[in-house]
Amino acid sequence: MPMNPSQVRVIDPVLTTVLQGYRQPGLVGEALFPRVPVRLAGGQVLEFDKSAFKLYNTQRAPGTAKKRVTFGYAGKPYALELHSLEAPVPIQSQRDAAIMPGVDLGSRAVRLTLAPTLLALESQQATLATTAANYDASHKVALAGATQWSAATGTPGPDIEAGREAIRASVGMRPNVMLCSAVAWKALRNNVNVIDRFKYTDKQSITTDMVANLFDLDKIVVGDAIVADDAGAFTDVWGNNAILAYVPKIAQAMEEPSYGYTYTMEGHPQVLSPYFEQQTESWIYGVNFERVAVLTAITSGYLIQNPN
């Protein structure tokens, strides 16, 4: 079978463009780990110490040498991970779809193939963010019983303020983002103290924007993603947690501490050019996604466990 030019290319630029513009609903990990394009599969995370917070004697006499300071140092190494999946489109299905206007099985196969790789990234980001061992004692709290936000005696306001102050004391910035798991958000929005703060509004329901404004945050995002095990049982990717974090509005603003990044190879995710498999009489669409989520400044974050 002769191959057309799009089949000869290793990477399909048209479908890759479709793919790079695709975002799966319910995935919010990039609020804590924004994507940063890189050209190398491995390198060093550039970190900054507390030099910027020191007081220096900057005064000098005319003609004398200026004092010199050095900021930043190479921190933990990172190595991108290659994640790949492929999906078949039988020629019979492709034939039938060609009759229906607006049906593009190639693009649909690519999106369906990408979805599990995006969910895997969300799971990796959630594991990093919700593992208590990644935080020191002053940047986490485990709620229980009467202190949980789902309890009538729970006080999310002081809990969140304690996290805000812990981050400010460590990096000089107050958190601008809070990521709540689905169950944490349910406990927060239904907390009696939070409801009381909005009792004079005419809103029918309390929104993330309203609560973000209440706690002086740029945004609150809710992690609704779920995963199924081999037995078909579903669990929340983000568990029963809330994470406060400072994340620069411009990704990789090097002079600012950032909770984390998702280092992503330039041009990824990418779609490999489809190839024909004779045995199954199907066109095979493959996806590559080379990336890794890393914690770059864990003291820019604060973990609240078991709010619900």
Q: Which residues neighbour 27 within 8 Å (Cβ) at sequence distance 6 or greater?
A: 118, 119, 121, 122, 223, 225
pLDDT, tens digit, 9 for 90 and up, residues 151-204: 999 999 999 999 999 999 998 889 999 999 999 999 999 999 999 998 887 666
The reported pLDDT for the residue numbered 174 is 94
Burial class (CB in 10 A: 0-12, 13-18, 19+), 22: middle
pTM above 0.75, yes or no: yes
- Domains of the chain by start residue, with CATH: 5-50+68-305 (3.90.1690.10)
Give the residue, 252 or 256, on which the prediction is more confident: 256
pLDDT at 1: 41
- At residue 117, the pLDDT reads 87
pLDDT at residue 75 greater than cutoff 70: no
Residue 125's pLDDT band (boundaries 50, 70, 90)? very high
pLDDT of residue 53: 58
- Rounded to the nearest integer, the mean pLDDT of the chain is 82
More confident residue, 219 or 4: 219
- Tens digit of each residue's pLDDT (9 = 90 or more) over 14-25: 455 555 555 566
